[in-house]
């Protein structure tokens, strides 16, 4: 299992992330509130700034190749995050989650994602270090995923059909209304889940599905466990702010999903042809950035209204005021 970082660097990284999350929840977001567009914009800049500062550290400490690997992996994760944003919008609309509670769900979703993605990364690196031929399987998987992404329609997203949600509703007793920002309440000596906990569980399950796509894609960039995991963490740390910033722009960025699919196909083909064609890291990074830029601009030049109508509605009662 390869890792360019020493145990001390790993410890410092984990400590910094835990400290950032503690300050986030304990200082800036102690109470439930609606995140304004201005606040979301500021926090996007802050999170990207943290990532770029860390990228500079990687360049300085581990060299240009690792630095370029991190930047490419981070951009890849950010591109895939746009698809996450659309799914989260569908989930929040389905559950009719009040705006002031959405940040809390995403915060704890990030904490859970940091753990589950760590497990995915460790397992993936361990398997690839022992069975290198699995890389070709990952390459083929990414190409197939890209094709499926191109063929998938937004109307195919049906939260009510989520098997995790079905199991949760079947086995976990739940209140009918939201109970503020709490996930569990006590009634008549019984602990009951609130709909907010159901939302969190589905968000976590959704992130696991996204990790199945995103982590293999990052393995196409590097197999160094430190670079793979840290790029993932910095991307998901900024996902909450990115959600609130892009929530009103997702419909306008309708072509970006095709761009992400093209990126996955490029990474998959890069893996499959690695023994024949060597693509320098600078070229890979330039291709990734160019695809994102072209499809973002094209989304605004060729606008298309995306309708969310027709999605099934949640049968939970609206939250009590």
The structure tokens 């591109």 sit at 79
| Across 82-86, 231-235, 282-286, least confident range | 82-86
Q: What average pLDDT does this structure show over 234-253? A: 79
Q: Is residue 317 part of a domain?
A: no
**Burial level of 93, CB count in 10 A (0-12/13-18/19+)?**
middle
Q: What average pLDDT does this structure show over 220-245? A: 87
pLDDT score of 158: 66
Domain that holds residue 254: 7-301
Query: Which DSSP string corresponds to 120-162?
Result: HHHHHHHHHHH-TTHHHHHHHHHHHHHHHHHH--GGG--GGG-
Query: Which DSSP string corresponds to 60-97?
Result: HHH-HHHHHHHHHHHHHHHHHHHHHHHHHHHHHHHHT-
Q: Is residue 313 part of a domain?
A: no
Number of domains in the chain: 1
| Structural tokens at position 16 | 């910094």
State percent of the chain over pLDDT 90: 11
> Is the separation of the CB atoms in 263 and 89 below 8 Å?
no
The pTM assigned to this predicted structure is 0.80
Q: Is residue 256 part of a domain?
A: yes
Q: Is residue 315 part of a domain?
A: no
Q: Which of 99, 98, 100 is nearest to 33 (CA)?
A: 100
- Which of the four pLDDT bands, split at 50, 70 and 90, describes residue 318? very low
Q: Is residue 307 part of a domain?
A: no
Q: Is residue 143 part of a domain?
A: yes
pLDDT score of 310: 47
Angle (CA) 163-167-170 rounded to 5° is 140
Q: What's the half-sphere exposure (Cβ side, CA atoms, 13 Å) at 266?
A: 21
Question: How many other C-beta atoms are found inside a 10 Å radius of the C-beta of residue 260?
Answer: 24
Q: Is residue 311 part of a domain?
A: no
> Is the separation of the CB atoms in 229 and 117 below 8 Å?
yes
Task: State pLDDT tens for residues 119-164.
Answer: 888 888 888 878 778 888 888 888 888 888 888 765 556 677 778 8
H helices present in the chain, as ranges: 7-23, 37-62, 64-95, 99-130, 134-151, 163-171, 195-219, 225-237, 239-246, 256-272, 281-301
Q: Is residue 262 part of a domain?
A: yes
Whole-number Å distance between alpha carbons of 75 and 69: 10
DSSP code at position 193:
E
Whole-number Å distance between alpha carbons of 208 and 225: 18
């Amino acid at each position: 299992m390869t890792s360019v970082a020493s145990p001390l660097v790993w410890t410092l990284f984990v400590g910094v992330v835990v400290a950032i999350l503690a300050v986030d929840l304990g200082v800036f977001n102690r109470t439930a509130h609606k995140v304004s567009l201005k606040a979301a914009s500021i926090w996007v800049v802050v999170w990207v700034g943290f990532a770029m500062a860390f990228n500079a550290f990687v360049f300085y400490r581990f060299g240009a190749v690792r630095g370029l690997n991190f930047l490419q992996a981070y951009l890849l994760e950010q591109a895939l995050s746009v698809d996450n944003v659309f799914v989260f919008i569908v989930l929040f609309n389905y559950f009719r989650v009040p705006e002031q509670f959405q940040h809390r769900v995403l915060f704890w979703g990030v904490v859970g994602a940091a753990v589950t993605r760590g497990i995915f990364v460790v397992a993936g690196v361990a398997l690839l270090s022992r069975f290198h031929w699995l890389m070709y399987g990952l390459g083929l998987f990414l190409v197939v995923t890209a094709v499926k992404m191109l063929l998938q329609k937004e109307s195919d997203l049906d939260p009510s059909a989520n098997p995790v949600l079905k199991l949760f509703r079947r086995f976990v007793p739940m209140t009918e209304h939201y109970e503020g920002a709490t996930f569990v309440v006590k009634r008549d000596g019984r602990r009951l889940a609130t709909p907010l906990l159901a939302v969190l569980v589905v968000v976590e399950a959704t992130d696991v599905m996204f990790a199945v796509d995103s982590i293999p894609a990052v393995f196409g960039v590097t197999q160094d466990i430190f670079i793979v995991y840290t790029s993932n963490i910095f991307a998901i740390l900024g996902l909450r702010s990115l959600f609130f910033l892009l929530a009103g722009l997702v419909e306008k960025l309708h072509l970006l999903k095709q761009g992400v699919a093209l990126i996955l196909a490029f990474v998959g083909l890069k893996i499959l042809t690695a023994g024949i064609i060597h693509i320098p890291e600078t070229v890979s990074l330039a291709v990734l950035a160019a695809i994102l830029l072209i499809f973002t601009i094209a989304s605004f030049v060729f606008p298309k209204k995306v309708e969310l109508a027709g999605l099934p509605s949640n049968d939970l009662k609206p939250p009590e005021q």
